[in-house]
Amino acid sequence: MNVLLAENLQKEYELGQHLVKALDGISLSIAQGEFVGIMGPSGSGKSTLLHLLGGLDQPSAGEITLAGEQVALLSDYQATLVRRRNVGFVFQFFNLLPTLSAEENILLPLIIDGQKPQAHEDRLDMILKRVGLQERRHHRPDQLSGGEQQRVALARALITRPAIVLADEPTGNLDTQTGTAMMLLLRESAKDLNQAIIMVTHDPRAAAYADRVVFLRDGRVVQEITFSADADLSMRLRHVIITQEELEA
Amino acid sequence: MLLTRYITFRSLATRKLRTFLTLFAIALGVAGIFSIHSTNQSAYISITRLFEGTSGRVSLEVRSAAKVGGIPQELLEVVQAKEGIDWAVPILILPATLPGETPVELDLTFFGAGAGGLILHGIHPEDDPKVRDYEITQGRFLSPGASSREVVLVEDYAREQDIAVGQDVTILTGSGLVDLKVAGFIARDGAGLTNMGKFGVLELALAQELADREGELDHIDIVAGVEGGPASLEELRESLIASLGEAYTVVYPASQGDRMAQMLSGYQIGLNFMAGIALFVGAFLIYNAFSMTVVERTRELGLLRSVGMTHRQVTAEVMIEGVLLGALGAVAGAGGGALMFRGLVELMSQITGQELEVGGLPLGIMAGSMGVGMTVTLLAAALPARQAGRISPLEALRLRGRSDDRWLLRYGWIAGTALLAASAGILIWNPFPYDVQFRLGSLTVFSLFFGAMLVIPVTLQAWQSLWRWPFRLVFGGVGDIGTRNLERAPKRTMLTCAALLVGVSMIVVTQGMTGSFTADLYPWIDAYIGGDVILGSSVPLNRDLKEKLESLAEVDTAAPVRYIQVSWQGEREVEEISFMAVEPDSYTAVTRFVFSDPEVQGEKAVAELSRGRALFISSVISEKYGLNPGDDMRLVTREGEKEFRIAAVVLDFFNQGLGVTGNWADLEELFDIHDVNTFLIKGAEGVEIQEVMTRIAEDYQEEYQLVIESNQAIKQRAGELMNQAFGMFDILGIIAVMVAALGVVNTLSMSVVERTREIGMLRSIGMTRFQVVLMILAEAALLGIIGGLLGLGFGVVLTRIFLAAMGAMSGYVLPFILPVRAFWLSLFVALLTSQLAALLPALRAARTPMLSAIHHE
Ligand SMILES: Nc1ncnc2c1ncn2[C@@H]1O[C@H](COP(=O)(O)OP(=O)(O)OP(=O)(O)O)[C@@H](O)[C@H]1O
Ligand SMILES: [Mg+2]
C-alpha cells in the first residue's frame, strides 16, 4: 500500500526575469515500511522535492497524496496540521530547541498538537530505547554529541507515528561511524515500525542502506534502483557508485 | 573606510523606526535633564529676584513681636536715631481692591486660600526709592505730602484693569470707597514684584487715613550702614531689640524667601529623581537598540571581518553610528527640552502660586545636558560595539546569538543580593539620623533597584516554573517553549524586566502617594472647606457681617475665620506658625474638626477650646515637635508671651501643616484683631445652595466686595490642584511604561531574529502561525509578570521611602495606604504593555519563511 504518491510534480522559481525549473515532472510512490534514498548532484532538486512532499512548500503543478489526503493546494493552516500529524522531519543541522531537554524535544510535536505527553509515555520509552537515549533523556542539546542530537531529531520525527519521515542529509554533519549508526537506525525503524522514510543524501554509503534509490538530475528522475532484500551492503554500495558514475558520464 | 561609513549610514536609514526610537530616547533624556535643571535654576533665580526686588537693600525689619497688628510711628524716629543705620523707612500695608475686579473664585494654592486683590504700600515717597527700586515707566512717582491723593501702580496690572495715567480710580479699602489719582506706573520689577505685581504705592499718611490706622506702621525697613558683615549686623539687631523693648522684634527679611525655597527644594528632589529615571530608561533604550542592530548586522559585520576589517574598525563602525545618533538626539533634545522647560515652569507656578521667571534659555545647562546625552549614548553603545568587534568572520555564515552573559549568571546574583541586603538593612535597621538617611535615600533606592535587577537572571528558571501552569492554560503547550527562551539572553531579559519594573513602580508610587495623601487630606479638606458656601474678600471683612448674614432667611449660621501668623517660642528657636481663629460654637455648627485620634471626645475638646487660652494643634506640629494634648505652647501675642494649653490634635494641612486653631475671643483680646478673612456659611434647612449664594450676592456682594463660592466648587478645584501636582508623576510613569514597551519590542525582535532557523523548524514540524504568535506572547507575558511583580514590590518600597522622607523633612506623616487598584493596575499595565509590544515581533516571527530558515546552513 502506498502511503505517499506524487504525480508529475513541477516547481518553478522566479529569479528576476528568469524562471528556474527546480522540479520538472517528478512522479514517485512510496509504500509503508519502505526506506527510499534520493541522490543527485547539487542543484538537482532533491531538497525541493522533499519540501514539496512534506507540505513545506506548494508545487507549481502536480499532485501529492499523503496518507490518502491531498497535500498540494492546502492552506497554510491545513498544511501545518498535515506536517504535524503525518510528516516527521530530520534535517542536516539538528534543529533542536536548546532550551528543552532531549525528552521534551522529542515530545515537541505532541506538545504543539496540544496533547498530554503523559499519554504517550509508552511510545516515548519505546522510541528512546530504540535510539538508545534512555540515559540521556533529561540532557539538554548542548550536553549531547552530534550523533546523539541527530538521534533525538529522529526520535522526534518518529514520535507521532507519521505517514512518512523525511530526512535531508541526516548524516551530512556526522563522522562516518556515527553516520553508519544513524543509517542502521533508520533502516531498522522502517522495518520494525513499518515506517516509510525518504532520505536525501550525497553519500553512496548512506544510500546503500535504503530499499530503493532514486536518482535526480535537473529536476527529473533519471534512474531508480531497487535492491533485493538479500543483497549485502558492499554489493549495494557498488551498485550505487556504478549508477552514479554512469549518470555523470 | 568611506565605503563602510556608507554602509553604516545606510543601516541607519533602513532601520528607520529603530533609528527614530533611539533618537527619541536620547532626545527624551537630554530634554528631561535640560528642562528639569533649567526649571530648578529658574526657580532659584525667581525667588532671589522676588526677594531682592521686594526687600531691596533692606537688611533688617522692625515688626510687632506679635506678628500681627502694627507698630507705632514714633518708633521710626527711635530707629533712625540709632547709630549704624543708613536708612529706615516706614511701611503700612493697605489691602485693597478695585470695584468690579472681584474674582469669581478664591485663590487656591498650597499656601492656602485667599482672595487675591491689590496690595498698596503706604510709604515715604522720598525715602523708599533709596531702599527699593521703583522703575517709572510712565508718568511720575508720588509727590511728597499727604495732600496729594495719588497712587502709583504696577503698569501691567493697571493695563489689565484699563487704568491710564492721570485718571482717577476708585479703590475699595477696609473703610470704604476712595478716589485716587494715578500719578504714574512702575515696572513689574524690583518693588513692583510684590504680591505678584498686583501692587501700588501711596503716601504713608494717606494710607494711614484710608486704613483708619493713624500713627501706625506695619514695619520699618532698615538699611544698615555697618561694616563687617553678618556679625556686626547681628550686633545691630540685638541692640535694636534692646532699645525697642519686648513688644517689638527685629528680623532679617529672609524668612519669606526661605519658606519658598524650602518648598521648592522638596519638589526639586522629586524632579532630580525623575531626571535620573529619564537617564536610565534612555540609556536602556539606546543599549537595547544598538544590541538589536548588532544582532541584525552580525552577518554583514562578520563579512566585513572576513574581508579584512580589524576588531577595532568594526567597533568604530558601530560607535560612529552612536556618535551620529547621539549628536542628532542631543540637538533634538535641546529643542524639546526648551519647550518642556516652559511647561514645567508653568506647572511649578501653578503649584506654588508663585510666578517663576522664564528668562532666556540657560545655554550652559543646555550644553551640559547635551554633553550628558552624548556621553550616555556612547557608553550605552560601547557594549554592543565591543560585541560587534568580537564577531568572528565565521559568524557571517551563521545566524545565532551567543550568550556571553555567563558572568552575569555566576556573579550577578551575588552583587544583587548584597545590594538588596545592604539597602534592606538601611531601611529596616535605620541606623542613621534623619537627614543623613534622607541623603542616603536616593542611594538606597538605586541600590535596591540594581539589586532587584541583578537577581533577575538567576531567578528566571524559578519564575518560569512558577508560572508554568497558568501559562499552559492560557497559551497552551507552546507557552512553555516561549517562556524558556528568556533564559537564553539573561542580560537582555534582565534589562527589559528592569525597564518594565521602572515603569510599573512609577505607577505604583503615584497611586500609593495619591492614596496616602487623599486618605488624610480629603477628610481634612472636607472639614476645612466646611459648610455650604464660603465667603471671602480681598479687603478685611467686618465681623458685624456675621449678624447681617444670619438675619437672612436662607442662612442658618455664618462662622467667621481669621488667619494670622504668630511666633511660637519652640524648644530651640522661634517658629512661625499660622493661627486660625474660630468661634468654636459657630464653627462646629457649620463644619467639624477632624481629630487625629478617633478616640478623642470631640465635645470635651471643643468645650476646652471655648474656654479660651487653648489650642488645637495640627498633627504635623504634634509629630514634628512631639507635642501632645495637655502640653503648653507659648505664643507671642500683643500682650507678650502667653501660654496656651493644647486641647487636641487635629488634621490640618493649612500652611503645610504648620498651624494651630484657636479661639476667637483670644484673637480679639490677645492680638487685638477684629476683622474676618472668610465666613463659612451653612444654609438654612431645605434651601438650595445656589439660592443661598444668590441671596448673599444680592444683598452684600457689592458692599463688601465678596467672593462667593460654594464649597463644592472649591473642593473640586482643590482636587484638581492635587491632581495637577501628581499629574507629573503620572506622565513620567506613562513615559517610563512606553519606553519599557519599546524595550520589549526590541528584545523580542532580537529574540525572533536570532531564532529565525528555530522558528522555521518549529513551523516545519507542525507549529501553526497562530501558535508561533502565542509562543512569543507567552515570552512577553513572563517578562511582563516579572517586571510587573518586581515593579509592584519596588514601587511599594519606594512609596514608603518617599513618605518617610517627606515626614522627616516636613513633619507630614502620612499613613501608607496602597489602593488595591494599584495592585491590579500595575500588573495589568505590565501585562498589557508587554502583550501589545510583543505583537509586532510575534507577527514577524509568524511570517518566518520556513524554507530559507531550514535551507541556510
Ligand atoms: N527559493 C529558491 N529560489 C530560487 N531558486 C531556488 C530556490 N530554492 C531552490 N532553488 C533552485 O532550485 C534548484 C534545486 O535546488 P535544491 O535545493 O532542491 O537542490 P539540491 O538538490 O537539494 O542541491 P544540494 O545537493 O546542493 O542541496 C537549484 O537550481 C536552486 O538554485
Ligand atoms: Mg539540498
| B399-441 pLDDT per residue, tens | 344 445 667 777 888 888 898 888 887 777 765 555 555 556 6
Host H or E run for residue A30: strand A18-31
pLDDT at B293 over 90: no
Nearest to B766 among A47, A57, A84 (CB): A84
The pLDDT value given to residue B812: 61
The tally of domains found in chain A comes to 1
**Cβ B631 vs Cβ B646: under 8 Å:** yes
- B778 — pLDDT class (breaks 50, 70, 90): very high
More confident residue, B269 or B341: B341
Q: Determine the straight-line distance between the first and last CA of chain A, rounded to whole angstroms.
A: 36
Contacts for B9 with CB less than 8 Å, ≥ 6 apart: B324
Q: Does residue A112 belong to any structural domain of this protein? A: no
**Cβ B240 vs Cβ B82: under 8 Å:** yes
Tell me what the mean pLDDT of segment B354-373 comes to: 78
**Cβ B189 vs Cβ B133: under 8 Å:** yes
Summarised one tens digit per residue, pLDDT across range B669-681 is 888 888 888 888 8
Host H or E run for residue B288: helix B255-296
CA-nearest residue for atom 2, ligand 1, is A13
| Ligand 1 contact, A20 CB (< 6 A) | yes
Summarised one tens digit per residue, pLDDT across range B570-598 is 766 777 788 889 999 999 888 888 887 77
The pLDDT value given to residue B511: 81
Tell me what the mean pLDDT of segment B240-268 comes to: 68
- B393 — pLDDT class (breaks 50, 70, 90): low
Q: In ligand 1, which atom is closest to the CA atom of A45? A: 18
- Please count the residues of chain A: 249
The pLDDT value given to residue A200: 92
Q: Are residues B78 and B45 in the same domain?
A: no
Of B213, B229, B252, the residue that ends a domain is B252
For residues A154 and A170, what is the distance between their CA atoms, to the nearest angstrom?
Answer: 9
Tell me what the mean pLDDT of segment B439-465 comes to: 82
The pLDDT value given to residue B110: 42
Tell me what the mean pLDDT of segment B366-376 comes to: 87
pLDDT at B782 over 90: yes
- B616 — pLDDT class (breaks 50, 70, 90): very high
- B51 — pLDDT class (breaks 50, 70, 90): low
Q: What is the pTM of this model?
A: 0.70
For residues A56 and B418, what is the distance between their CA atoms, to the nearest angstrom?
Answer: 52
The pLDDT value given to residue B114: 45
A136-140, B182-186, B789-793, B844-848, range with the lowest pLDDT: B844-848
- The Cα diameter of chain A in Å comes to 55
Backbone phi, psi, residue B379, to 5°: -65, -45
- B386 — pLDDT class (breaks 50, 70, 90): confident
Return the exposure string of B240-259: e unless at least 16 CB atoms fall within 10 Å of the residue's CB, then b: bbeebeebbbbbebeeebeb
pLDDT at A226 over 90: no
Q: Does residue B333 belong to any structural domain of this protein? A: yes
Q: Does residue B647 belong to any structural domain of this protein? A: yes
Q: Are residues B83 and B98 in the same domain?
A: yes
Q: How many angstroms separate the Cα of B660 from the Cα of each of B113, B120, B351, B663?
A: 16, 29, 23, 10
Tell me what the mean pLDDT of segment B776-799 comes to: 90
The pLDDT value given to residue B264: 58
The pLDDT value given to residue B113: 43
B132-146, B213-227, B253-267, B825-839, range with the lowest pLDDT: B253-267
**Cβ A167 vs Cβ A94: under 8 Å:** no
Residue of A42, A80, A110, A152 for testing the chain B interface, max B β-carbons within 10 Å: A80
Summarised one tens digit per residue, pLDDT across range A15-35 is 878 888 889 889 999 988 899
Tell me what the mean pLDDT of segment B494-518 comes to: 82
- B111 — pLDDT class (breaks 50, 70, 90): very low
Tell me what the mean pLDDT of segment B537-545 comes to: 80
Place of cell 504535524: A84
pLDDT at B166 over 60: yes
B675: left (phi over 0), alpha (psi -120 to 50) or beta: beta
Q: Based on the number of CB atoms within 10 Å of its own CB, is B602 exposed (0-12), middle (13-18) or buried (19 or more)?
A: middle
The pLDDT value given to residue A248: 81
* CATH for A8: 3.40.50.300
The pLDDT value given to residue B296: 74
Of B634, B653, B683, the residue that ends a domain is B683
Q: Are residues B41 and B111 in the same domain?
A: no
Beta bridge partners of A88: A165
The strand pair at B150-154 and B176-186 is best described as parallel
Contacts for B853 with CB less than 8 Å, ≥ 6 apart: B756, B757, B758, B759, B760, B761, B763
The pLDDT value given to residue B857: 44
Retrieve residue A13's grid coordinates: 522559481
Starting at the earlier edge strand, list the strands of the sheet with A212-217: A87-90, A164-168, A196-200, A35-39, A212-217, A220-226
Write down the mean pLDDT value for chain B.
80
Return the exposure string of B419-446: e unless at least 16 CB atoms fall within 10 Å of the residue's CB, then b: bbeebeebbeeeeeeeeebbebbeebbe
Retrieve residue B9's grid coordinates: 549610514
Retrieve residue B685's grid coordinates: 434647612
Q: Are residues B139 and B228 in the same domain?
A: yes
Q: Are residues B259 and B236 in the same domain?
A: no
**What one-character-per-residue DSSP string does B723-734 give?**
HHHHHHHHHHHH
Does B850 reach chain A within 8 Å, measured CB to CB?
Answer: yes
Return the exposure string of B499-510: e unless at least 16 CB atoms fall within 10 Å of the residue's CB, then b: bbbbbbbbbbbb
Q: Does residue A37 belong to any structural domain of this protein? A: yes
B12-16, B69-73, B832-836, range with the lowest pLDDT: B12-16
pLDDT at B369 over 80: yes
Q: In ligand 1, which atom is closest to the CA atom of A40? A: 21
For residues B361 and B338, what is the distance between their CA atoms, to the nearest angstrom?
Answer: 7
| Ligand 1 contact, A37 CB (< 6 A) | no
Four-residue CA torsion sign, B681, B685, B690, B696: negative
Q: Does residue B397 belong to any structural domain of this protein? A: yes
Q: Does residue A108 belong to any structural domain of this protein? A: no
Q: How many angstroms separate the Cα of B750 from the Cα of each of A4, B15, B485, B493, B770?
A: 39, 13, 12, 11, 20
More confident residue, B528 or A88: A88
Of B339, B374, B403, the residue that ends a domain is B403
Contacts for A227 with CB less than 8 Å, ≥ 6 apart: A210, A211, A212, A236, A239
The pLDDT value given to residue B100: 60
Q: Does residue B503 belong to any structural domain of this protein? A: no
For residues B378 and B373, what is the distance between their CA atoms, to the nearest angstrom?
Answer: 9
For residues B427 and B796, what is the distance between their CA atoms, to the nearest angstrom?
Answer: 13
Q: Does residue A35 belong to any structural domain of this protein? A: yes
Q: Are residues B25 and B65 in the same domain?
A: no
Nearest ligand to the C-alpha of residue A44? 1
- Residue B558 CA to its chain's centroid (Å): 35
A116-125, B395-404, B779-788, range with the lowest pLDDT: B395-404
| Ligand 1 contact, A43 CB (< 6 A) | yes
Beta bridge partners of B169: B180
Q: In ligand 1, which atom is closest to the CA atom of A50? A: 18
Four-residue CA torsion sign, B599, B604, B606, B612: negative
**Cβ B782 vs Cβ B425: under 8 Å:** no
For residues B685 and B610, what is the distance between their CA atoms, to the nearest angstrom?
Answer: 26
Place of cell 503706604: B122
The tally of domains found in chain B comes to 3
**Structural domain containing residue B347:** 1-58+253-403
| Ligand 1 contact, A131 CB (< 6 A) | no
Q: Does residue B526 belong to any structural domain of this protein? A: no
CB contact under 8 A, A84 and B758: no
Q: Does residue A114 belong to any structural domain of this protein? A: no
Q: Does residue B689 belong to any structural domain of this protein? A: no
CA-nearest residue for atom 27, ligand 1, is A42
* Listed residue (B74, B103, B52, B47) closest to B538, CA to CA: B103
pLDDT at B11 over 80: no
* Listed residue (B160, B140, B161, B162) closest to B150, CA to CA: B140
The pLDDT value given to residue A197: 92
**Structural domain containing residue A233:** 2-97+163-248
pLDDT at B489 over 50: yes
Q: Are residues B138 and B106 in the same domain?
A: yes
Q: Does residue B447 belong to any structural domain of this protein? A: no
pLDDT at B347 over 80: no
- Residue B152 CA to its chain's centroid (Å): 36
Beta bridge partners of B662: B581
Q: How many angstroms separate the Cα of B244 from the Cα of each of A93, B60, B74, B82?
A: 99, 14, 11, 11
Q: Does residue B446 belong to any structural domain of this protein? A: no
Q: Does residue A227 belong to any structural domain of this protein? A: yes
Q: Chain B: nearest CA to A38, how far in angstroms?
A: 17
pLDDT at B279 over 80: no
Q: Are residues B295 and B183 in the same domain?
A: no
**HSE (CB half, 13 Å, CA atoms) of B60?**
28
Q: Does residue A149 belong to any structural domain of this protein? A: no
Q: Does residue A158 belong to any structural domain of this protein? A: no
**Interface list for B 745-764 with A (CB within 8 A):** 757-758, 761-764
The pLDDT value given to residue B656: 67
Four-residue CA torsion sign, B151, B152, B155, B156: negative
Nearest to B764 among A47, A56, A85 (CB): A56
Q: Are residues B49 and B75 in the same domain?
A: no
For residues B679 and B708, what is the distance between their CA atoms, to the nearest angstrom?
Answer: 10
Retrieve residue B662's grid coordinates: 484657636
The pLDDT value given to residue B784: 92
Amino acid at B853: A
**Report for A71-80, A132-141, B257-266: range of highest mean pLDDT:** A132-141
The pLDDT value given to residue A198: 93
More confident residue, B712 or A42: A42
Q: Are residues B185 and B222 in the same domain?
A: yes
The pLDDT value given to residue B63: 82
Nearest ligand to the C-alpha of residue A219? 1
